[in-house]
Amino acid sequence: MIKTFDSLRAVDHISFSVKRKEVFGIVGPDGAGKTTLIRMLCGLVQPDMGTASILGLDLLKQGGLIKNEIGYLSQKFSLYSDLTVDENIEFFAELHGVKKYKERRNELLEFTRLTKFRKFLAGKLSGGMKQKLALACTLIHKPKIIFLDEPTTGVDPVSRRDFWKILSELHNDGVTIVISTPYMDEAERFNTIAMMNQGKLLMCESPAAIKASMKESILEVVTTDLRNTYRLISENTKYESQLFGDRIDVAVEDPESGLATIKLLLQQNNIVLKDQRIKNVSLENVFIHVLKSADTASTHAKDDEVNK
């Protein structure tokens, strides 16, 4: 699928398949094209080229039938702030033509832990409870697939954990979940991860396969001057380094040789190595590695074009 806004290619020749009853994650930074892709799959944005088959139905030709089978939770809270929790769910039930919704509403309120808040105005709820209410409204018509666009962004850690418990229960009930997130720790929960950047699909594999694709080892170091250490490694070695809070991850082919090189570099610049260890490759390590590799390839391609 392709989608362009003016000169910006928001979705650039993306193609993938989602298995029934799986949790499929779309991961990438802001501006990667995640929201545009999800909105196209929900029939809210028309692609410039390409189509999709959802539940065996053609997105462009049978969009009306598809909308009856899917649920969509947008990135921003889009329910009615001046209606109560009960009234919001009732509104969406009527919107989807669900006549006998009261029992289903009670089930969803219990499921999302919102029963005691049912008479509260939606606008008075916390961020986490608003997202739970939005999810309840999304599920009122029993969709077979739900599309969630960064549902935990801006939500506190406790509510974020609760939200994932609810999604886990939905998954166990056989609902297919397509969800976008910028958080790599959430990506570990997915059956399949589609990594996106600048509208392009970088990888589409299981978490284990993505981590196995990185052949380098990760050497984690902690020093007395972290920023200078990061600069020195970047400027004086070919090692790919990533700064994470109070430590640096360095991708090395040979950990012993890499550590010796870094120790010498630190010694020459009067920086003390406080701690070091070899750690397991994380999804964040791989994603940053893939981004840097893509940037390097793009730069070389531009240089080759200029030199022609």
Break the chain down into helix, strand, coil percent, rounded to 5: 40, 25, 35
The pLDDT tens digits of the residues spanning 207-224 come to: 999 999 999 999 999 999
Q: Which domains does the chain have, with CATH numbers?
A: 3-207 (3.40.50.300), 211-307 (3.30.70.250)
The fraction of the chain above a pLDDT of 90, given in percent, is: 77
Edge-first strand order for the sheet with 247-252 is: 240-244, 247-252, 217-223, 273-279
Over 80: is that where the pLDDT of 300 sits? no
Pairing label, strands 217-223, 240-244: unpaired
DSSP conformational letter for 175: -
Q: Give the Cα-Cα-Cα angle 43, 74, 145 (nearest 5 degrees).
A: 60
The pLDDT tens digits of the residues spanning 230-255 come to: 999 999 999 999 998 899 999 999 99
- Exposure pattern of 171-185 as b/e (b: 16+ CB <10 Å)? beeebbbbbbbeebe
Over 80: is that where the pLDDT of 64 sits? yes
Is residue 161 very low, low, confident or very high in pLDDT (cuts 50, 70, 90)?
A: confident
Q: Average pLDDT over the chain, rounded to whole?
A: 91
Question: Strand pairing partners for 277?
Answer: 220
Q: By three-state DSSP, how is residue 208 classified?
A: helix
